[in-house]
Amino acid sequence: MVDAARDWELLYRNAAPRVYRALLATLRDPELAEDALHEAFAEGLRRPPASSENLPGWLFRVSLRRARKRRWGFISLSGQEKRTAADEIAALLDRLEAGRLLALLTERQRALVVAHYYLGLTQAETAQAFGVRPGTVSATIAQALTRMRKGANHV
């Protein structure tokens, strides 16, 4: 059991920064992302995942579930121009072209794109994480990519 806990801690130290960045890009709330990630880690210590395949993806999915329990549904980001330059998330996303393009998406589109492309979750895993059908994931990602392509052409 001690070795399993040590292995899990090592995984967490290696995967946490990447999963946290994915959660930030998805949730756009640093405190919610951090709390959800820590709760997912604690759950992994209590009940490790059945498979060691794609453990960062497991952490992301469990973190999203934890965040969704705290905040019901997806929030539209339109009308939230109150963000300042000091906003940690806005600063992170503004530094990257990918961040600029992700900012064009709804939170739901952004979450699915990040889960699928950044964390490498399959459409089935993404659908399970968000409680939707795989066809919905496919359609939403296609719409998001179209929106991002249009945004990239307006540079």
> What pLDDT, in 10s, does the model give residues 32-57?
889 999 898 888 888 877 777 778 88
Which residue from 33, 40, 32 is spatially nearest to 58, judged by alpha carbons? 40
- Quote the pLDDT of residue 141: 94
- Quote the pLDDT of residue 147: 92
pLDDT-above-70 percentage for the chain: 78
What class does CATH assign to 2-153?
mainly alpha
Torsion sign over Cα 98, 100, 103, 105: negative
Q: What is the radius of gyration, based on Cα positions, of the chain? A: 16
- Quote the pLDDT of residue 134: 93
Which pTM does this prediction carry? 0.59
Percent helix, strand, coil in the chain, to 5, is 70, 0, 30
What are the residue ranges spanned by the domains of the chain? 2-153
How far is the C-alpha of 98 from the C-alpha of 144, rounded, in Å? 13
Q: Rounded mean pLDDT of the chain?
A: 79
Which residue from 153, 71, 149, 70 is spatially nearest to 109, judged by alpha carbons? 149
How far is the C-alpha of 26 from the C-alpha of 121, rounded, in Å? 14
* Cβ(63)–Cβ(94) below 8 Å: no
